[in-house]
Amino acid sequence: MINPARTASILTYAGAIPFVVCATVLVFARPLGLIEYRPFALQALTTYAAIIVSFLGGIQWGIGVATESEQPQTANSLFLLSVVPSLLAWALLFLPSNTSKVIVALFLVGLVWIVDALLHLQQVIPAWFFRLRCVISAVVMISLTVAMLAA
Protein backbone atom coordinates (compact mmCIF):
# COMPACT_ATOMS: atom_id res chain seq x y z
CA MET A 1 0.00 0.00 0.00
CA ILE A 2 1.27 3.46 -0.91
CA ASN A 3 1.83 5.79 2.03
CA PRO A 4 1.79 9.42 0.83
CA ALA A 5 3.23 10.71 4.12
CA ARG A 6 6.21 8.36 3.75
CA THR A 7 6.72 9.40 0.13
CA ALA A 8 6.58 13.08 1.10
CA SER A 9 9.04 12.46 3.93
CA ILE A 10 11.56 10.70 1.70
CA LEU A 11 11.36 13.43 -0.93
CA THR A 12 11.61 16.15 1.71
CA TYR A 13 14.74 14.66 3.26
CA ALA A 14 16.24 14.26 -0.21
CA GLY A 15 15.41 17.90 -0.84
CA ALA A 16 17.52 18.91 2.16
CA ILE A 17 20.65 17.34 0.69
CA PRO A 18 21.69 20.45 -1.32
CA PHE A 19 21.51 22.59 1.84
CA VAL A 20 23.70 20.20 3.81
CA VAL A 21 26.16 19.66 0.94
CA CYS A 22 26.57 23.38 0.23
CA ALA A 23 27.07 24.21 3.90
CA THR A 24 29.61 21.38 4.17
CA VAL A 25 31.51 22.66 1.14
CA LEU A 26 31.62 26.15 2.67
CA VAL A 27 33.02 24.80 5.92
CA PHE A 28 35.59 22.39 4.49
CA ALA A 29 36.63 23.98 1.18
CA ARG A 30 39.32 26.17 2.75
CA PRO A 31 41.01 23.44 4.86
CA LEU A 32 40.90 21.05 1.91
CA GLY A 33 42.35 23.60 -0.50
CA LEU A 34 39.17 23.78 -2.56
CA ILE A 35 38.54 27.49 -2.03
CA GLU A 36 37.47 27.97 -5.65
CA TYR A 37 34.25 26.04 -4.90
CA ARG A 38 33.10 28.39 -2.14
CA PRO A 39 31.47 31.06 -4.38
CA PHE A 40 29.60 28.38 -6.32
CA ALA A 41 28.43 26.67 -3.10
CA LEU A 42 27.19 29.97 -1.69
CA GLN A 43 25.34 30.88 -4.88
CA ALA A 44 23.87 27.38 -5.14
CA LEU A 45 22.75 27.52 -1.51
CA THR A 46 20.99 30.89 -1.74
CA THR A 47 19.42 30.13 -5.11
CA TYR A 48 18.13 26.79 -3.86
CA ALA A 49 16.79 28.45 -0.70
CA ALA A 50 14.86 30.92 -2.86
CA ILE A 51 13.41 28.07 -4.91
CA ILE A 52 12.43 26.09 -1.81
CA VAL A 53 10.79 29.11 -0.15
CA SER A 54 8.78 29.60 -3.35
CA PHE A 55 7.88 25.89 -3.39
CA LEU A 56 6.68 26.08 0.21
CA GLY A 57 4.67 29.16 -0.67
CA GLY A 58 3.05 27.11 -3.42
CA ILE A 59 2.04 24.50 -0.86
CA GLN A 60 0.48 27.21 1.28
CA TRP A 61 -1.33 28.65 -1.75
CA GLY A 62 -2.67 25.15 -2.47
CA ILE A 63 -3.88 24.82 1.12
CA GLY A 64 -5.67 28.14 0.66
CA VAL A 65 -7.36 26.84 -2.49
CA ALA A 66 -8.34 23.60 -0.74
CA THR A 67 -9.79 25.35 2.32
CA GLU A 68 -11.40 28.43 0.79
CA SER A 69 -14.98 27.21 1.07
CA GLU A 70 -14.69 26.04 4.71
CA GLN A 71 -12.25 28.70 5.96
CA PRO A 72 -12.37 31.74 3.65
CA GLN A 73 -10.48 33.99 6.06
CA THR A 74 -7.64 31.48 6.41
CA ALA A 75 -7.57 31.02 2.63
CA ASN A 76 -7.41 34.78 2.06
CA SER A 77 -4.53 35.08 4.52
CA LEU A 78 -2.73 32.15 2.90
CA PHE A 79 -2.99 33.68 -0.55
CA LEU A 80 -1.18 36.77 0.73
CA LEU A 81 1.26 34.97 3.02
CA SER A 82 2.24 32.48 0.33
CA VAL A 83 3.17 35.13 -2.23
CA VAL A 84 5.18 37.53 -0.06
CA PRO A 85 7.99 35.06 0.82
CA SER A 86 8.26 34.02 -2.84
CA LEU A 87 8.67 37.63 -3.95
CA LEU A 88 11.22 38.30 -1.22
CA ALA A 89 13.04 35.09 -2.13
CA TRP A 90 13.29 36.27 -5.72
CA ALA A 91 14.55 39.68 -4.54
CA LEU A 92 17.23 38.09 -2.34
CA LEU A 93 18.92 36.79 -5.47
CA PHE A 94 19.76 40.39 -6.40
CA LEU A 95 21.31 41.39 -3.11
CA PRO A 96 24.95 42.43 -3.52
CA SER A 97 26.31 40.64 -0.45
CA ASN A 98 26.36 36.86 -0.15
CA THR A 99 26.06 37.16 3.61
CA SER A 100 22.91 39.26 3.26
CA LYS A 101 21.49 36.66 0.85
CA VAL A 102 21.99 33.93 3.45
CA ILE A 103 20.49 36.07 6.23
CA VAL A 104 17.38 36.84 4.15
CA ALA A 105 17.06 33.17 3.17
CA LEU A 106 17.27 32.20 6.85
CA PHE A 107 14.57 34.74 7.72
CA LEU A 108 12.30 33.53 4.90
CA VAL A 109 12.61 29.85 5.83
CA GLY A 110 11.67 30.83 9.39
CA LEU A 111 8.75 32.94 8.16
CA VAL A 112 7.32 30.12 6.07
CA TRP A 113 7.71 27.76 9.03
CA ILE A 114 5.77 30.21 11.25
CA VAL A 115 2.89 30.19 8.75
CA ASP A 116 2.93 26.39 8.85
CA ALA A 117 2.93 26.51 12.67
CA LEU A 118 -0.17 28.70 12.57
CA LEU A 119 -1.82 26.30 10.13
CA HIS A 120 -0.97 23.44 12.47
CA LEU A 121 -2.51 25.28 15.43
CA GLN A 122 -5.68 25.79 13.38
CA GLN A 123 -5.57 22.09 12.42
CA VAL A 124 -5.51 22.99 8.73
CA ILE A 125 -2.50 20.79 7.91
CA PRO A 126 -1.90 17.20 9.00
CA ALA A 127 0.20 16.66 12.13
CA TRP A 128 2.68 14.45 10.23
CA PHE A 129 3.29 17.27 7.76
CA PHE A 130 3.98 19.80 10.48
CA ARG A 131 6.36 17.41 12.27
CA LEU A 132 8.20 16.91 8.99
CA ARG A 133 8.32 20.66 8.39
CA CYS A 134 9.75 21.21 11.88
CA VAL A 135 12.57 18.73 11.36
CA ILE A 136 13.42 19.86 7.85
CA SER A 137 13.18 23.56 8.72
CA ALA A 138 15.68 22.98 11.52
CA VAL A 139 18.06 21.19 9.13
CA VAL A 140 17.74 23.98 6.57
CA MET A 141 18.13 26.77 9.13
CA ILE A 142 21.18 25.09 10.67
CA SER A 143 22.69 24.67 7.20
CA LEU A 144 22.07 28.35 6.41
CA THR A 145 23.52 29.42 9.77
CA VAL A 146 26.62 27.30 9.22
CA ALA A 147 26.96 28.77 5.73
CA MET A 148 26.65 32.30 7.09
CA LEU A 149 29.31 31.67 9.71
CA ALA A 150 31.61 30.00 7.19
CA ALA A 151 31.16 32.66 4.50
Spell out the residues 6+ positions from residue 148 whose beta carbon is closer than 8 angstroms to its own.
Answer: 99, 102, 103, 106
Q: pLDDT tens digits, the chain, 151 residues: what are they?
A: 889 999 999 999 999 999 999 999 999 998 888 899 999 999 999 999 999 999 999 999 999 999 999 999 999 999 999 999 999 999 999 999 999 999 999 999 999 999 999 999 999 999 999 999 999 999 999 999 999 999 8
Range of the domain at 39: 4-150
- For the entire predicted model, the pTM comes to 0.93
Domain total of the chain: 1
